[in-house]
Structure 1
Amino acid sequence: MARDYPPRPLVGIGAVVFRGEQVLLIRRAKPPRQGEWSLPGGLQKLGETVFAGACREVMEETGIVIRPVGIVDVVDLIERDEATGAIRYHYTLIDVAALWQAGEAVAASDAADAAWVGADDLEARVAWSETVRIIDEARLLCATGAGAG
């Protein structure tokens, strides 16, 4: 199915991966939000659980092995074509909090770059306020151990 101008919403999985106080970010190599720093993630595959999808996407994009902790939130990303008003992108994004287990962050697959970022540098790198909010909520989830899963 086409990712732009889809006939129905697509399910995406994002992973908020922590290594100590740092969070793993990737620079998106493809639309939507191409060139922006974001969470690693991608489309859920048929027959794949949300946690398995998060593990797969993080491995594909960064080479990092993670341990999912819980689901943080579900976010809608809907972008319209400015000229026609048609829906250009419609994703239902399931964000998963996770902890780093092994590996070094190396950009691969759909990522142009990958980096561990501290809280003091987060808002300077991340353009979408929803991503910052999700990271903050994931940090609380990991700190309390209140994850569902």
Structure 2
Amino acid sequence: MLAAGAVIVDDGGRILMVKRGHAPEKGRWSVPGGHVEAGETLAEAAAREVREETGLEAVIGRELWCAIIDYSDAETFEIHDFAATVIGGELRAGDDAEDARWMTADELERAPLVGRLRAHLRAAGIPPSDQVAPKGPI
């Protein structure tokens, strides 16, 4: 399965996240994204998924990473995630998203994320390490 998503960080450093409403990984948080439809480019699919899942319009930028994920013996996902910028719309959960919201770095640290998303975000410097509060007593 070919899929595309968007990593969107606002001016305040918050990351746009959606709570998955369906399998795989129902109830976990992810960046907006989903299947690439016939005839779509990866960037077009990422923009469409942002619109469908969050109600926001986005401009898609450079590709941040590609991840290959095996969800079962029969399903392997090739996921391309892109940097993106919101240019309009009103935030609301839609399509197959159970919830959609902007998360601070601290909220993101505590949220149950899909698969290896946390590692991919960290590798891309999202959120910047100076935005995450240290855990526990210092």
TM range (shorter): 0.7 to 0.9
Deviations 1:55-92 (A, max 9, x none): 11100111011111210111011023xxxxxx143111
2:2 to 1, 11, 19: 11
Pair 1:39-2:21 in alignment: no
Classify the secondary structure of the residue corresponding to 2:62: strand
The aligned counterpart of 2:53 is 61
Structure 2: tracts of 5 or more residues without a match: 128-138
With normalisation by structure 1, the TM-score equals 0.77
The aligned counterpart of 1:5 is none
Deviations 1:100-139 (A, max 9, x none): 2222320000101000001121121133462123333164
Classify the secondary structure of the residue corresponding to 1:105: coil
RMSD: 1.7
Equivalent pairs counted in the alignment come to 125
With normalisation by structure 2, the TM-score equals 0.83
Identity score, percent: 30
2:98 to 99, 112, 116: 112
For the residues of structure 1 that align with 2:121 and 2:86, how far apart are their CA atoms? Answer: 15
- Gap change, CA 1:17 and 1:45, over 3 Å in 2: same
For the residues of structure 2 that align with 1:108 and 1:46, how far apart are their CA atoms? Answer: 22
What letter is aligned with 2:31?
Answer: L
The aligned counterpart of 2:136 is none
Q: Could you list the structure 1 runs, at least 4 aligned residues long, displaced by more than 4 angstroms after superposition.
A: none
Structure 1: tracts of 5 or more residues without a match: 1-9, 81-86, 141-149
8 Å CA contact 1:15, 1:39 repeated in 2: yes
The aligned counterpart of 1:93 is 79
